[in-house]
Amino acid sequence: MKKPKLIVLQFPGSNCEYETHRAASYYGFESRIVRWNSLDEIDDANAIILPGGFSYQDRVRSGAISSKLPILKKIIMKASSGVPVLGICNGCQILAEAGLIAGVNKGQVEIGMAPNTRDGLPVGFICDWKYLVVKNPKRSVFTQYYDENEVLPIPVNHGEGRFVVSKSVSNELINLASFRYSDHQGVESTSFPINHNGASYGLAAISNVDGNVMGMMPHPERAARLRQIPVSISGEWREKKRQLLSGGSDGVGPSEKLFVGMRDAARETQ
Amino acid sequence: MSHVINVFISLQQTDLHCVSALEALRYSIGFTELTQLRRLRKISFMVDVDNKPGAIDCVKRCVNESFDLVNPNKETVYFDELPELPGTGWYGIQVTANEAPLRSVSSLSFASHPKIISAEQGLQWLLKIDSSDSSEQVMTKIDTFCGPTTSVNRGLLVNSLFETYLIQSIS
């Protein structure tokens, strides 16, 4: 079967494009990195990822300048035609600033990515492993192979990852949330330290209404392979990692189903 | 009696936030009447001193004695006034975060200044508009094109989901 074509967009200041490209290639994409000003090169894309980083040095706000680039208008068109679009970290911030998530009112900015806070006070940049619990898996192509309330460990790395939602979205949050922060047993919380950035509803990822666009602050490309998981993680992944350290072979990581779900959705646009 | 003293801090070299924002506003959003854009950090101090000159002195001492409020090697500070602006047609947008108002303002800076009750940090954008429209019309345009971001084609300098803003006519 022909591999679907994936574009990993490189903005000035992106810094996760190569590991995202490698993770996607591992899960069956024909992936390539495309610069932000190569407008024609995304025409044949079956899937698009906006990777993490600090595009345009986070000038004005994270993702704000990138969201005004001509290529974003093309991405909006691709998304409206059903192409899966994933925004990771800074990519999520760009999608939010461009109004691609949550899509309750098409084209309108409904999600803000605010600086991390704890009880209303700043906590600054946070780099850590967190646990996510899956919500509404069948509503999004990215979570379609997960089970409801499945727990996965995944790293976060951001200073402005606090989801703030408009009223139009807050009524839909229960349906649109794809991942929420939890402990290793899947117990959700909206307070620190589980919800380390003060996000509304403990949101870690949100999909659009159509289910083909998702913005997530954690980094799935850094949890794509078993060897990327630290041994300090709790739960079933700790056991898998221990087996690897005891001489077992490397295998898939917690974000396997996310990439596979995206790949299968991308195949439908070929 | 308390006084609010605004301190404005500008970079001495080219501010890249302004370069990118000006390009985005002019060429992506199409607000070509905007010809110059400046950005200042703004810290609003509430000071418990009887008179305003005394309050300004108190803030000056605090700012000059601290290491993290202003970097005198690369920033210029203005106490309770904006920098002098050339010509007319200048408008402003004040932006304040709804939460985390003390962002990057260290409590250490205030330890020896008990008369400073609070400090809120925000941004002051200065916009030079080349237009023959009335001040009210220009402010409406600024609100539409430059203010709260509502879509890829509208707004940039404010995200009203977590920031509040005020548009001003300056000169």
Of the residues A21, A158, A196, A219, only one is catalytic, namely A219
- Chain A contacts of B41, Cβ < 8 Å? none
**Which of A224, A118, A137, A149 shows the shortest CA–CA distance to A178?**
A137
Place of tokens 């069948």: A138
Are B158 and B149 within 8 A, CB to CB? yes
What share of chain A has pLDDT > 70, as a percent? 100
For A67, nearest residue in chain B (alpha carbons):
B152
Spell out the SS3 assignment of A108-153.
CCCEEEECCEECCEECCCEEEEEEEEECCHHHCCCCCCCCCCCEEE
pLDDT surpasses 90 at B114: no
Of the residues A17, A97, A110, A221, only one is catalytic, namely A221
Which backbone phi and psi does B64 adopt, to 5 degrees? Answer: -70, -25
In chain A, the N- to C-terminal Cα span, in Å, equals 11
- Chain A contacts of B103, Cβ < 8 Å? 115, 122
In chain B, the N- to C-terminal Cα span, in Å, equals 31
As a whole number of angstroms, the distance between CA B29 and CA A130 comes to 38
Of the pLDDT bands very low, low, confident and very high (cuts 50, 70, 90), residue A140 is: very high
- Mean pLDDT for all residues in chain B: 90
**B67: which 2 tokens?**
């290491």
- For residue A196, indicate whether it is catalytic: no
For B38, nearest residue in chain A (alpha carbons):
A60
Domain boundaries, chain B: 2-169
pLDDT surpasses 60 at A32: yes
- Chain A contacts of B21, Cβ < 8 Å? 59-60, 65
- Chain B contacts of A36, Cβ < 8 Å? none
pLDDT surpasses 60 at B102: no
Of the residues A17, A89, A92, A196, only one is catalytic, namely A89
Interchain CB distance below 8 Å, A69 and B159 = no
Q: Is B97 on the interface with A (CB under 8 A)?
A: yes
Strand-pairing partners, residue A14, are A53
**Which of A256, A259, A258, A223 shows the shortest CA–CA distance to A241?**
A223
Instruction: Give the pLDDT of residue B103.
Output: 39
**A71: which 2 tokens?**
């290529």
As a whole number of angstroms, the distance between CA A53 and CA A9 comes to 11
For B123, nearest residue in chain A (alpha carbons):
A60
Are B99 and B162 within 8 A, CB to CB? yes
SS3 at position A7: strand
Q: pTM of the full predicted structure? A: 0.95
CA distance B21 to chain A (A): 7
Average pLDDT for B90-98: 93
Instruction: Give the pLDDT of residue B120.
Output: 84
pLDDT tens per residue, range A103-131: 899 989 999 999 999 887 888 899 999 99
- For residue A127, indicate whether it is catalytic: no
pLDDT surpasses 80 at B112: no
Strand-pairing partners, residue A216, are A88, A205
As a whole number of angstroms, the distance between CA A174 and CA A206 comes to 10
pLDDT surpasses 70 at B107: no
Interchain CB distance below 8 Å, B102 and A122 = yes
For B152, nearest residue in chain A (alpha carbons):
A98
CA distance B6 to chain A (A): 21
Give the nearest partner residue to A115 out of B24, B103, B150, using CB atoms.
B103
pLDDT surpasses 50 at B104: no
- Chain A contacts of B28, Cβ < 8 Å? 68-70
Task: Find the helix packing angle between A17-26 and A256-267, rounded to 10°.
Answer: 70
SS3 at position B161: coil
B window 32-91, beta carbon within 8 A of A? none
Strand-pairing partners, residue A203, are A180
As a whole number of angstroms, the distance between CA B153 and CA B138 comes to 18
Q: Is B158 on the interface with A (CB under 8 A)?
A: no
Interchain CB distance below 8 Å, A114 and B16 = no
Interchain CB distance below 8 Å, B149 and A97 = yes
- Domains, chain A, in order of start with CATH, read 5-267 (3.40.50.880)
- For residue A221, indicate whether it is catalytic: yes
- Chain B contacts of A56, Cβ < 8 Å? 20
Are A152 and A180 within 8 A, CB to CB? no
- Identity of residue B134: S
A15-19, A77-81, B66-70, B91-95: which range is least confident on average?
A: B66-70
